[in-house]
Structures are given as C-alpha cells and as structure tokens.
Amino acid sequence: MLSTRGRLLILTYHRVCPEPDELITGNANAAGFTRQMQVLGRAFRVLPLTEAVERMHAGTLPSRAVCITFDDGYADNVDVAAPILQRHGLPATFFIATGFLDGGRMWNDTIIETVRSARGTELDLTGFGLGRLGISGTAARRAVVNELIGRCKYLEPAERKAKTEAIAEAANVTPPVDLMMRSDQVGALHRAGMEIGAHTVSHPILSAIPPVRADEEIRASRDRLATLIGAPVRAFAYPNGKPGVDYGSEHVDSVRDAGFDVAVSTLWGAAEAGHDRLQLPRVGFSDTSRVMLGLKMLRAFTDSPSAARVLPGYASS
C-alpha cells in the first residue's frame, strides 16, 4: 500500500461555477466539486494550510494529509464552493487579489466574457494587430480565449488591463462586474473558519515588474486583507506561480520579509518537510469521477518534486 505519511497534497482551485462552463477550461463546477469534496472528506485528512505545514515540519503530519486552496478571490468561491465545504466540514484557504474586490475584474475574465458575449462569427481585432478571429461555435471561441490570454499574460499590468479593456470596447461588450468577492464576503469567510491568504493586489507576474513594485504588491495585499479580517495574514500565493519564470529569489525574499509563514507556487507535486515552506508545490484536478479522483490523489502523493526544482529558500531549516 502506498505510504503518504510526511507528504502533504495542496490542491488548487480557482472558480467553482454553478454549472459546467465550456468556455472556461480547468475549473470545477458545483456537481463535480461536490463529488471531489465527498472523496476528500471520506478518504483523506483535510487540514488548514498553515497548520498542515507546521505539522509537516514538526513530523506530526497524518497520512493522506490534504489542503484545499483557491486563488484570486472569485465570488463563486463564497456562493458555490464555501457552502459545499461547510456541508462536508472541510477547511480551505482563499488567496485573494485585493485589487479586484468590490466590483473589480481580472484581465483574463475581461477576455473570456468579451469573447463569450461578442456577436457574429468573427472578432475583428485588426486594430490590435491580431486580424479577424473566428468565433463560430464554442470550440472556436475557446481557442480565441486561449490565444488572447497567451498574448496578454506577460504584459505589464497597466498595459495588460488597458489592452483587454480596449478589446472589450472594440467588440462592443460590457463585461460583468460581479465576478469577484466583495470585502464583506472576505470577512464572512474568515468568520466561518476559513483561512485568508494574500495573492498581491493586481495579480501581476512578479518577474515582469520592478522589484520595488513587486514588494509593494505583496505587502499591500497583506495589509488590506489583515484590515478586512482583523487578524494577521500568514499565507501567500505567487501569481501564476512558476519558480524562476513568474517569480524569482528576490520575490521569495520579499515574501519572507513581509512576515508570511507559508507560500505556495504552482510547481506540481506533493510537499515534504525538505521543501522551502515559502515555495510549496500544489496540484490541481479537473472534474472527474470519485474513483478516478481517489486514484489520481494517491498517485499525486508519489510525485514529490526535488527541492532543487525551486529557487534558493530559507524555510526548510
């Protein structure tokens, strides 16, 4: 039998949509998320993130230990995911990009909702050097979403926002402003026993902006969330999260100096005590059956990335 003792699986989610959304790939929906939480509640030990990391380093982590995390701060985390978590008695950590609270919108959602609502069979983006993009059918629209997100992801945040908003205007689309949490919902999650973590202000690729601005993004998100929940914010998630690509060792320094106890990347695999606790790996699964999810979870426990695959760190000592 596979031994999972000493290993921690940190699951990552973004949205949990009420119904399946064919235009948004890689996100859970209510029915699939419910199936997953049933498996976790019955077969695994689900722990709060900071507690689990402390126990991992203390050598008291139970077998089949799992944490549940959400990135960005979508309203459906509160409206859809949280009630499911509460029904199953499961804790989770919500990493919030504070600049999008109270009516804000992430740049990628501007693209998604623009392509979703655009009329006709093509999107004329010749003014942006992108030509005319076919949007006849869901598959074509999904391909356009992926192409535009890929072209915009590594732009400087202000340029990225301006460009995606200009695309929406060119398509004569007004994207929704209720996709993200409100400030009061962040407080409600905390009062319900969920952990709140920081995820910067504007969700920049940290390596694409000056170090001083990156440090400000990290600290400002921590401070805003601490004010909202009336408690210290101990956990952080790097936007996009690829070590050496999306963030560098200077950003690990900033996270450490800002006083965070735990930080997570998107390096795939199970965490172990030898890993830098400020660069812990995570895994994500799309909707699947209960049996397949259980098998995938057990398989994921076997893939523990080498500490050499992350940047030089401080917290494994």
CATH number at residue 283: 3.20.20.370
Q: How far is CA 253 from CA 64, 211, 213, 248, 294, in A?
A: 31, 11, 14, 9, 36
Range of the domain at 122: 107-170
Residue that is last in its domain, among 170, 192, 212: 170
Share above pLDDT 70 across residues of the chain, in percent, rounded to a whole number: 94
Q: Per-residue pLDDT for 317 more than 50?
A: no
Q: In this structure, is residue 2 part of a structural domain?
A: no
- 198 lies in some domain: yes
Contact 77, 190 (CB under 8 A): no
Query: Are residues 40 and 98 part of one domain?
Result: yes
| Domain contains 315 | no
> Helix 157-170 vs helix 138-152: angle between axes, to the nearest 10 degrees?
150
Phi, psi at residue 10, to the nearest 5°? -105, 110
Terminal C-alpha separation, the chain? 31
Tell whether 304 is covered by a domain: yes
Say if residue 124 is in the same domain as residue 267: no
> CA 50, 194, 287, 66 torsion: positive or negative?
positive
The answer to the question of residue 316 being in a domain is no
| Residue 206 and residue 57 in one domain | yes
CA angle (138, 140, 145) in 5-degree steps: 90
How many residues are present in the chain? Answer: 317
Residue 147: other Cβ atoms inside 10 A: 14
Residue 260 CA from chain centroid, whole number:
17
Each residue's pLDDT tens digit, 214-252: 999 999 999 999 999 999 999 999 999 999 999 999 999
Residue with the larger pLDDT of the pair 314 and 300: 300
Clarify whether residues 12 and 111 are in a common domain.
Answer: no
Among the candidates 142, 170, 198, a domain finishes at 170
Same domain for 60 and 191? Answer: yes
- At 165-194, the pLDDT tens digits run 999 999 999 999 999 999 999 999 999 999
Pick from 149, 170, 191: which residue ends a domain? Answer: 170
Does residue 121 form part of some domain? yes
pLDDT tens, position by position, 256-307: 999 999 999 999 889 999 899 999 999 987 666 677 777 777 778 877 776 5
Do 94 and 14 reside in the same domain of the chain?
yes
**Residue 314 domain-assigned?**
no
The verdict on 24 and 45 lying in the same domain is yes
**Per-residue tokens: 251:** 């950003």
Percent of the chain at pLDDT above 90? 79
Q: 69 and 186: one domain?
A: yes
User: Same domain for 188 and 266?
Assistant: yes
pLDDT band at 315 (very low <50, low <70, confident <90, very high): very low
CA–CA dist 65, 84 (Å, integer): 19
Instruction: Verify that 152 and 221 share a domain, yes or no.
Output: no
pTM of the predicted structure, to 2 decimals: 0.92
Instruction: List the beta strands (DSSP E) in 126-198.
Output: 131-134, 195-198
The CA distance from 135 to 9, in Å, is 38
Does residue 183 share a domain with residue 132? Answer: no
Q: How far is CA 106 from the centre of its chain?
A: 12
Domain count, the chain: 2
Please check whether residue 290 lies inside any domain of the structure. Answer: yes
Residue 74: predicted pLDDT: 98
Task: Evaluate the CA torsion angle 136, 141, 147, 149 in order and state its sign.
Answer: positive
152 and 267 co-located in one domain: no
CA distance 70 to 27: 11
